[in-house]
Amino acid sequence: MSPLILKLILHSTWQTLEMVVASTALSVILGLPLALFMIATGPQGLYRLPFAARLMGMVVDAVRAVPFIILLVLLIPVTRFIAGTSLGTEAAIVPLSIAGIPYFARIAEMALREVDSGLVDAVRAMGGTRMTIIRSVLIAEALPGLVTGVTVTLITMVGASAMAGVIGAGGLGDLAIRYGYQRFNTTVMFGVVVVLIIMVSLMQVIGNSLARWLKH
């Protein structure tokens, strides 16, 4: 493998990591409150608002229903508004996050629902405020599940970022398509695949052991 190809792969790996980490971080930061909102306003929630819960659920599902490649194009005006440009690695973080927020929200919602309602009762009975219940019961008890959700979201973002080449975001997927598919450079193609396999496996292994460690 020539130094040039190596440099190309290294550069693309960095771009992919940038997109994946930034969009996953945003998905968690905004998706977790969304999940808490859906749990808390839902039936048996701490702040029952069934209509709001239903509406939020519909919005979340609507975004999730659109295939990412279409969302990417559909969101170009939004991306331009937020990022100032619709092209490049940073710009791609916008549509990736918008797809990732409802994705993580649904996973987090499932993890939060797994929390035994008896624990909520226990802390309510000892005079805990709703904030205490959200922090010390819902989030704390769901943490292993939430970590698994972050792992799944990271890996999904690796896949989605490959499509972001469409808006000139670069990254490993883009590299594999331009060199491997359009120029028949199988060395680059194989290199990219190996890097992706290593990247995804590492994420999975680290995520799993973190979740296991948190699950006392």
Partner 1 sequence: MNPILDIQHVTHTFGQHTALQDISFSVQQGEVVGLIGRSGAGKSTLLRCLCALERPQQGHILLDGVDLTTQPERQLVRIRRKIGLVFQHFNLLTSRTVAGNIALPLQIAGCPRKEQADRIAELLELVGLKGFEKKYPSQLSGGQKQRVGIARALAANPTLLLCDEATSALDPESTSSILNLLADINKKLGLTIVLITHEMDVVRRFAQRILVLDHGRLVEDGTLLDFLRDGQNNRTLQTLLADIRPSLPAFLTETLASAPQQGHNKAIIRLVLSGDNASEPLFSALHEQFNVRTALLQGGVTTVGEHLSGDMILSLEGEKTEQALSHLKTAAQNMEVLGYVPSHS
Query: Which residues in this chain contact partner 1 in the complex, by CB under 8 A?
Result: 116, 118-119, 121-129, 132, 136-137, 140-141, 143, 214-216
In whole angstroms, how close is the CB of 48 to partner 1 at the nearest point?
Answer: 13
DSSP annotation of 166: G
Map tokens 């170009």 to a residue: 76
Complex with partner 1: residue 83 or 139, whichever CB lies closer: 139
Residue 151, both tokens: 């792992």
Q: Which is nearer to partner 1, 54 or 135 (CB)?
A: 135
Taking the least distance from each CB to partner 1, the nearer of 144 and 168 is 144
In whole angstroms, the minimum distance from the beta carbon of 215 to partner 1 comes to 8
Of 81 and 213, which has the nearer Cβ to partner 1? 213
Look up residue 65 and give its amino acid.
A
**Nearest approach, Cβ of residue 150 and partner 1 (Å):** 17
State residue 126 phi and psi, 5-degree precision: -90, 10
Find out whether 21 and 89 touch, Cβ atoms under 8 Å: no
Per DSSP, the chain holds a count of helices (H) and strands (E) of 10, 0
Residues 6 or more apart whose CB falls under 8 angstroms from that of 199 comprise 13, 16, 17, 158
Closest distance of CB 140 from partner 1, Å:
4
136 vs 187 by CB, closer to partner 1: 136
Selection from 111, 101, 120 nearest residue 45 by Cα: 120
